Amino acid sequence: MPLPPPPKSMGSLLTQAVKSVTTTSRSENSPRNSPAKVERKTAAPPLAADPARVQTNKPVPTTAEKPQAEETKPSVAVERLNANPAPAKRTATRLQAAKLFVLDTNVLLHDPMSLYRFEEHDIYLPMVTLEELDAHKKGLSEVARNGRQVSRELDALVADTGSGIDQGIPLSRTGHAEAKGRLFFQTRAHDVQLPIALPQGKADNQILAVLQDLTHIHSERPVVLVSKDINMRVKARALGLHAEDYANDKTLDDADLLYTGMMVLPPDFWDRQAKSVESWQQGGNTFYRVQGKFVAQMLVNQAVYWESGSAPPLYARVKEIRANTAVLQVMRDHAHQKNAI
């Protein structure tokens, strides 16, 4: 390697010497040429073997991996809420005890399938009821046919029951899944003293005696007499006992929903029919052919009427309905003097 040219003056020699010293000091302080750092780098063990370095390079925990020491403590309001949680709302009402219905004979003769009409409630048949059923099953009347049908239903229920008749017979065993209750028969005598005014030998009074004894025995649930006899229910209530009428065969509970057979025409009936109404006489009767939206609410043989204080009233019967037209036959007002007999 050729040597550099010699300096030409003293200043150049000094400047070159300073540069060489500066270059030498920088090279000595360079980390690349530092022997200590090179030695530590070569002598350093693997990263996994150095506990200090593993602790230093530990990744920052995420939100789901935060240590328990770093969890934020709940506020005082949250702690009080957790200590005294709000009571849960009741989503279901308290279940009531199943009732025990004592059936009178007239209920079974009125509806032979009444045994299966009491849903989850139990049924009790006094021995007197069975005796009266046996007395009414002969003949060709509807009552006799119902009595025979009830006897067949009872025979199917008690078949193959063994000695467990005292525990009640499930009413659903004959295929009536809607009946969830049990059928009980009178298997022992009821020693009850009725008022002297009620003779013991009468069948109705014997049923009342059974009802009174069952009310005392089953004080934990209602015991109700079901009878179609009004006087029977009155006597039961006079003795302080519960009695109800058999109303399962009544399809409507609200009398306002029953068909009344009459329809009130709108107040502006004649104003709407002034241009389209047709009228004629036939067989001494007056007929009107009307049309409008109210015709859809009419029925054949339905009575319709229109009354006004300033005009004669209209009382008619729906004779015929075709599409949106109806034929009304004016009815004779026998209350009028000219129609008096």
pLDDT digits (tens, 9 = 90+) for 227-252: 999 999 999 999 899 999 987 765 54
Q: pLDDT tens-digit profile of 83-111?
A: 544 444 433 333 567 899 999 999 999 98
Report percent pLDDT > 70 for the chain. Answer: 66
Of residues 273 and 76, more confidence is placed in: 273
**Average pLDDT score over residue span 123-136:** 90
pLDDT at res. 198? 80
CB 118 within 8 A of CB 101: yes
Q: Greatest CA separation found in the chain? A: 166
In three-state secondary structure terms, 171 is helix
Q: Give residue 339's pLDDT band: very low, low, confident or very high (50, 70, 90).
A: low
pLDDT in tens, 9-53: 555 555 554 455 445 445 444 444 444 444 444 444 444 444 444
User: Which tokens belong to 117?
Assistant: 């009409």
Ramachandran quadrant class, 126 (left: phi over 0; alpha: psi -120 to 50; beta: rest): beta
Question: Hey, what amino acid is at 27?
Answer: S
Direct distance between the N- and C-terminal alpha carbons of the chain, in angstroms, rounded to an integer: 160
Residue partners of 278: CB distance under 8 A and separation at least 6: 288, 289
Q: How confident is the model at residue 322 (pLDDT cuts 50, 70, 90)?
A: confident
The H or E element that residue 322 is part of is strand 311-322
In this prediction, residue 10 carries a pLDDT of 57
